[in-house]
Amino acid sequence: GLGPFPGAAMDLFGDLRRMNKRQLYYQVLNFAMIVSSALMIWKGLIVITGSESPIVVVLSGSMEPAFHRGDLLFLTNFHDDPIRAGEIVVFKVEGRDIPIVHRVIKIHEKENGNIKFLTKGDNNEVDDRGLYKEGQNWLEKKDVVGRARGFLPYVGMVTIIMNDYPKFKYALLAVMGAYVLLKRES
């Protein structure tokens, strides 16, 4: 008969009960391995690319048609590499949590070799001075998180959906957790 749980949920609990402790332990370890491998790959990317965020998701339409919302960008940030006009950079502004992906439109080089630059979104009417912190007219190298080196279109849509609908995030985590726990060794 049908209790308060639908059949699928009952099967799931039955499966979990039948699974012995050793199997469960093994699956938990398996899950921990996956997570730690992902973290190691991420740390490795940080070292290789020189960027604290080697991969970012475009969250706004300010860079269309070059990049669209949900595109995944790959960044590098080598300090010896000079910043050029026309280059797309990801920068962080004091007082804002989320980095911004925009194009360098103007470069201002001083005698001592210090470079300051101005950015603008391709799809925006005005430059980014309104986005910088108060009284700041130029960005410096220290503000740059990375520079776009390549991208995958729309792969980051999942991130945007998770930001816009937090419940989706928990549902996704629950499904992944259940999958890892119940995956049988073939």
Indicate which residues carry an active-site annotation: 62, 102, 128
Q: List all residues 6 or more positions away from 55 whose beta carbon is below 8 Å from its beta carbon.
A: 45, 72, 73, 74, 75
Dist CA 153 CA 142 (whole Å): 28
Tally Cβ neighbours within 10 Å of residue 128. Answer: 20
Dist CA 137 CA 150 (whole Å): 28
Answer whether 147's CB lies under 8 Å from 88's CB. Answer: yes
Q: List all residues 6 or more positions away from 150 whose beta carbon is below 8 Å from its beta carbon.
A: 73, 74
Dist CA 70 CA 45 (whole Å): 21
HSE toward the beta carbon, residue 100, CA cutoff 13 A: 24
